[in-house]
A and B are shown apart, each in its own frame.
Chain A
Amino acid sequence: QVQLQESGPGLVKPSQTLSLTCTVSGGSLSSGNSFWSWFRQSAGKGLEWLAHIYASGSAMHNPSLKSRVTISVDPPKNQFSLNLSSVTAADTALYFCAKYNLFTRAFDIWGQGTMVTVSS
């Protein structure tokens, strides 16, 4: 069974870059029937999609975040990563990585989430 685990610093200073990694275990990130995504959820708020990436490196970012978001993939390490630049307090949130199943057309596996606080 595929599992996802987010990792990264829990505290980031304003104006710096938030960097998170999602490690895939129990299966290959390059399996071909999936793509890989990042989401976040601010306190008491709904789910916000941030970015997707295929194992090939083809990626798509949420336009609302303009050019602050970068997603990358490292197939040999079975990992994909998120960078969010120029962070502010508004970027404080619980960040999730997830697997999109191309057959069921849904996010069927999620990481447990990692809390990131932006504060000086």
Chain B
Amino acid sequence: DIQMTQSPTSLSASVGDRVTITCQASQDISNFLNWYQQKPGKAPKLLIFDASNLETGVPSRFSGSGSGTDFTFTISSLQPEDIATYYCQQNENLPLLTFGPGTTVDIK
């Protein structure tokens, strides 16, 4: 099974700050990596697909990069509505897929 790790587990930043989350796969997953945002009690929302492609309608302050085993998710200027947990998800070995454990982002 492909295992996903994320760091940090949580972070606190100020409005306007640049926020970076990393995701690492236990083996090469090429660019089969997606990023989701989840607010408490709500469903996940797709932000980034194929490691670096912005989903339609998602603000451009969100971005993703990476390939192979190491990936990065960035919020260029943190906004109050970005308070959420962010998950990476691999689908290199569909139909099996796994999510990272999540990174909780809040406002300092």
Contacts and interface: CB of A to CB of B under 8 A. Distances in A.
Chains A and B form a bound pair: yes
Interface of A: 46-47, 49, 52, 60, 62-63, 94, 96, 98, 104-108, 110-113
Contacts of B50: 104-106
Contacts of A60: 95-96
Nearest to A59: B95
A34 to B, nearest CB: 13
Nearest to A101: B49
A111 B43 CA distance: 7
A47 B46 CA distance: 14
A23 to B, nearest CB: 15
B91 A110 contact: no
Contact of A105 (B43, B49, B99, B101): B49
Interface of B: 32, 34, 36, 38, 41-46, 49-50, 53, 55, 87, 89, 91, 95-102
Nearest to A6: B43
B25 to A, nearest CB: 15
B95 A106 contact: no
Contacts of A113: 41-43
Nearest to A51: B95
B76 to A, nearest CB: 21
Q: Give the one of B34, B43, B44, B55 with max A CB within 10 A.
A: B43
Contact of B98 (A49, A52, A63, A111): A49
B33 to A, nearest CB: 9
A107 B42 contact: no
A104 B49 contact: yes
